[in-house]
Amino acid sequence: VSDASGCSMIALLHTGAAKFPQNLLSRSRQAVSPLFSAGVLKGFSSIVSRKLASHGFGASMAAMSSFPPQRYHYFLVLDFEATCDKPQIHPQEIIEFPILKLNGRTMEIESTFHMYVQPVVHPQLTPFCTELTGIIQGMVDGQPSLQQVLERVDEWMAKEGLLDPSVKSIFVTCGDWDLKVMLPGQCQYLGLPVADYFKQWINLKKAYSFAMGSWPKNGLLDMNKGLNLQHIGRPHSGIDDCKNIANIMKTLAHRGFIFKQTSKPF
């Protein structure tokens, strides 16, 4: 062994074992074995870790080693808020359109898309809607139409590399309403096409029930409670709900859960 870390001998045993005479290989292994009990290899490991960290690999490697790999490169967390009242108004229109791009290896948020949308059929928000969502009239007045927002979503998807066929991504929602009912229903009403990437998703409620063995009757509140997580922001704020969904997903992933598509193909 050439130095205190035992690096030269260890490297030799790993890279040159095939060419090493068997009698010498046996003696070398005997010489190195005390290093394991003495903790030298532990020190060597920490040296490697520090070297990797200096090149920016430390955090990502730690994150990747802490839970099994997911089936998707990215999860696109989405949660609409829409016009509403009691009794319900028709048609409902999306007024908040947030998406969080979640890295499938680290389960960390990499990018955010967030826009408010101008409703056109019922342009005036009801007091019930404002109280529920926290969205006031001034936040939607003068904002782009749904058609314009969908165009910007597509531009954002392209910029983030999510339209590359080799990149696997999928939307994640808290329930099936957002992508099974709300978006296709409003697009049909307005005569707008629905992009294919909106046609498959993961329902977090179903994923949670598979992982935890119980159905979250009260949605995000029950899931946060079941995982001992603090609720982020205010309920029924689209962007805050997305952050809660991302936090729940990260927690389940760290527990070893593998997320799979729950929606049926259109």
Buried b (16+ CB within 10 A) or exposed e, 36-50: eeeebbeebeeeeee
Tell me the C-alpha to C-alpha distance, in Å, between residue 172 and each of 98, 127, 176. Answer: 12, 29, 9
Q: Which residue, chain included where needed, has tokens 């829409």? A: 82
CB-CB contact of 236 with 81 (8 Å)? yes
Catalytic residue among 93, 96, 160, 236: 236
Catalytic residue among 73, 81, 110, 151: 81
Q: Which residue, chain included where needed, has tokens 């016009």? A: 83
236 belongs to the catalytic site: yes
Inter-residue long-range contacts of 184-188, CB under 8 Å, 24+ positions, other chains counted: 185/91, 185/92, 186/91, 186/92, 186/93, 186/94, 186/146, 187/146
Tell me the C-alpha to C-alpha distance, in Å, between residue 74 and each of 26, 64, 155, 173. Answer: 47, 14, 17, 14
122 belongs to the catalytic site: no
Task: Please identify every residue annotated as catalytic.
Answer: 81, 236
